[in-house]
Amino acid sequence: MTMKGKTVIVTGGTSGIGKALAFEFGSKGANILITGRNQQRLDEVIQEFSGKGIRLRGIQADVSQEADNQRMVDAALQHFGCIDILINNAGMSMRALFEEVDLKVLHTLMNVNFWGTVYATKYALPHIIQQKGSVIGISSIAGYRGLPARAGYSASKFAMQGFLEVLRTEMLPKGVHVLTACPGFTASNIRTTALTKDGNTQGESPRNEGNMMSAEECASHIYKATCKRKKTLILTQQGKLTVFLNKLFPGWMDKMVFNHMAKEEDSPFKKL
């Protein structure tokens, strides 16, 4: 499968995995449209990529707003004439115990991570069907195994994966490829922008980002899985092991996951 001349939308494409995906697909010859809520960051990425020969457009949009997703699709069609691939990447995380969290935090995460995927897919899908293209969801290991202090994040990723599984099945007669990609811990800004129990931004990552898979390596794996039209992609050895063991020993994994996450700096809970 060649990407030359294909049109790829990447939501949340101004940093982290989204930016790396825009570069990975763009460097292979695809036309790229990215979204982001911050116009300054959009302009910076556009300027950076223009010097690398990548054909890229940016649109200021919030995936949690239905109308913004329709504008995004209209912009892609206006600039490039078609849509081959939609990468639902925009996402947010959190860190707070459920018993302490303000429910507005869970609403925010569901609106961005789940409804953002639903809205973008709804408006892009008719055009992707015409191209027999791809819908990709950047989910998480948290979509297979609920993580303590991430109730809203895990719930939104479980919901995303259920939605994409339904879509993959429904699209079988139409030749549309649907990929659910689940990175393990990947170096990005998602932990620095994670929401606390009151809905404020965490500000600093509680984990050692230097020991994680890079966003660029993650994007390379997702690109290859898209070309091979794979259905699922689970990244990192830790991620694969977590998913495997959780199927076999869910009770034991409750304790293992609890103790692992409790090691984080300023963890809201202590080890058992």
For the stretch 197-223, pLDDT in tens is: 999 887 665 555 567 789 999 999 999
Structure pTM? 0.93
The reported pLDDT for the residue numbered 50 is 87
Q: Is the pLDDT of residue 59 over 70?
A: yes
How much is the pLDDT for 72? 98
Catalytic residue among 123, 144, 153, 223: 153
Is 7-244 assigned to CATH 3.40.50.720? Answer: yes
Note every long-range contact of 104-109, with CB atoms under 8 Å and residues 24 or more positions apart, other chains counting.
Answer: 104/199, 105/152, 105/195, 105/196, 105/197, 105/198, 105/199, 106/151, 106/152, 106/155, 108/64, 108/152, 108/195, 108/199, 109/152, 109/153, 109/155, 109/156, 109/195
User: Active site includes 153?
Assistant: yes
Residue 187 binned pLDDT confidence (cut-offs 50, 70, 90): low
- The more confident residue out of 256 and 265 is 256
pLDDT in tens, 114-135: 999 999 999 999 999 999 999 9
d(C-alpha 90, C-alpha 40), whole Å: 17
